[in-house]
C-alpha cells in the first residue's frame, strides 16, 4: 500500500452522466503511462460530493473491473450521510478494494467523539481497513495529536491521507506511528512529505504528471534532494498554470488533448471556457505531458 496513488479523475458529459469508456481509459493511462502504484477512487478529484450513491457505486465497479488487480485500490466512501458511507464501504469491500478511506464528516460542527464513532461504524460494518482522510482546509476539521492517538488505537485504522500544511504534526505522527501509513496529499509539497518520511502520496495532478511525481519520490528516496527540488520546481510551475486555468477542468482538458475521453466537470462546476483550450494545448507541449 506504499507509493504514489492518483486521486482519480472521473469523466462526465454535459448532462452530468458518467462516460464509462472514458473512465476506463483514464484508469489505463494512470497505470500504463503515469505508472502509479494505486488509485484513490471517489475522492475530491472524482467530484464525489456531487454524485448520487448509484453513480459512486458505478465508478467503484468500473474501476475495479478495468484495474483487474494491476494496482492497489483505495475507496473513498466518506459522506455526511453515515448510512451512505456504510453502504458504499460494504460495496467497495465486496469488490475487493484494498482499503477504505473516509473524509472526516463536515459542514456540521461534529464533536471528536462523533467523528470517532463515524469511523468505528464504517469499520465495524465493513470489516475493511480504513485510511483517515484529513483535509482541514475543505472540511474545517483539524485533528490534534491526541485525537489521532485515539483513532490509531483501532488496528483497522491503518493510516491517514494527510492533506495539511502542518509539518510539525506530520513529523510527530511519523515518529510516533512508524507502522501506520501516511500519505502526503498536497501535490505541490510532495518533496516535503517525501523528506519527512511519508509512505506515499495521493494527488490529482498525478493523472497527468505522475511521471514527474515519481522522479521527485525516487530522488528523495535516494537522498538526491537538490535534484528532487529541480523537478518539484517544474511541477509547481505546471500546477500554478493549471490552477490559473481551473483545476479539474484543466486536468480533464489535458487528457482530452491527449486523446482520452475525459469529458467535462459536473455541474454546478463550470465547463472549461473555450477561450482557454488553446492555452491548455500549449501547456501539454510546454511541459511534455
Q: Specify the 3-state DSSP secondary structure of 180.
A: coil
Cα gap 277→83, rounded to integer Å: 41
121 is in an annotated binding site: no
Is 133 one of the annotated active-site residues of the chain?
yes
Neighbours of 107 (CB within 10 A): 8
Q: Is 163 among the annotated ligand-binding positions?
A: yes
Query: Taking Cα atoms as reference points, which of 239, 254, 265, 278 lies closest to residue 29?
Result: 254
Helix, strand, coil percentages, rounded to 5, for the chain: 55, 15, 30
204 is in an annotated binding site: yes
- Torsion, Cα of 147, 221, 239, 27 (10° steps): -90
Cell digits of residue 276: 482557454
Gap between the Cα atoms of 285 and 289, Å rounded: 7
- One of 40, 91, 97, 133 is an active-site residue; which one? 133
Q: Is residue 185 part of an annotated ligand binding site?
A: yes
Q: Of these residues, 72, 161, 252, 266, which one is catalytic?
A: 161
- The verdict on whether residue 37 carries a ligand-binding annotation is no
CB 160 within 8 A of CB 181: yes
Nine cell digits for residue 94: 465486496
Paired strand residues for 75: 41, 100
Is 267 one of the annotated active-site residues of the chain? no
Q: Do the beta carbons of residue 10 and residue 59 sit within 8 Å?
A: yes
Annotated binding site: 44-45, 163, 185, 187-188, 204
Positions annotated as catalytic residues are 133, 161
Residues marked as binding for aceneuramate?
Answer: 44-45, 163, 185, 187-188, 204
Amino acid at each position: 500500500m506504499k507509493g504514489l496513488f492518483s486521486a482519480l479523475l472521473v469523466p462526465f458529459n454535459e448532462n452530468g452522466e458518467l462516460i464509462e469508456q472514458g473512465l476506463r481509459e483514464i484508469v489505463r493511462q494512470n497505470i500504463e503511462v503515469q505508472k502509479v502504484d494505486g488509485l484513490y477512487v471517489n475522492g475530491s478529484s472524482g467530484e464525489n460530493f456531487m454524485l448520487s450513491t448509484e453513480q459512486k457505486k458505478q465508478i467503484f465497479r468500473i474501476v475495479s473491473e478495468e484495474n483487474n488487480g494491476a494496482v492497489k485500490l483505495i475507496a473513498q466512501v466518506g459522506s455526511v450521510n453515515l448510512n451512505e458511507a456504510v453502504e458504499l464501504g460494504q460495496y467497495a469491500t465486496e469488490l475487493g478494494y484494498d482499503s477504505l478511506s473516509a473524509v472526516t464528516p463536515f459542514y456540521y460542527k461534529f464533536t471528536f467523539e462523533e467523528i470517532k464513532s463515524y469511523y468505528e461504524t464504517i469499520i465495524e460494518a465493513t470489516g475493511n481497513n480504513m485510511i483517515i482522510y484529513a483535509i482541514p482546509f475543505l472540511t474545517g476539521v483539524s485533528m490534534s495529536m491526541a485525537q489521532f492517538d485515539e483513532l490509531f488505537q483501532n488496528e483497522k485504522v491503518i493510516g491517514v491521507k494527510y492533506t495539511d500544511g502542518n509539518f510539525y504534526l506530520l513529523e510527530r505522527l511519523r515518529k510516533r506511528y512508524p507502522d501506520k501509513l501516511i500519505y502526503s496529499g498536497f501535490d505541490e509539497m510532495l518533496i516535503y512529505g517525501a523528506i519527512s518520511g511519508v509512505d506515499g502520496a495521493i494527488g490529482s495532478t498525478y493523472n497527468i504528471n505522475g511521471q514527474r511525481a515519481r522522479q521527485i519520490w525516487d530522488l528523495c528516496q535516494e537522498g538526491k534532494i537538490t535534484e528532487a527540488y529541480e523537478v518539484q520546481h517544474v511541477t509547481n510551475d505546471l500546477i500554478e498554470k493549471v490552477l490559473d486555468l481551473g483545476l479539474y477542468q484543466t486536468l480533464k482538458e489535458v487528457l482530452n488533448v491527449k486523446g482520452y475521453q475525459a469529458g467535462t466537470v459536473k455541474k454546478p462546476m463550470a465547463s472549461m471556457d473555450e477561450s482557454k483550450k488553446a492555452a491548455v494545448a500549449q501547456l501539454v507541449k510546454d511541459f511534455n505531458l
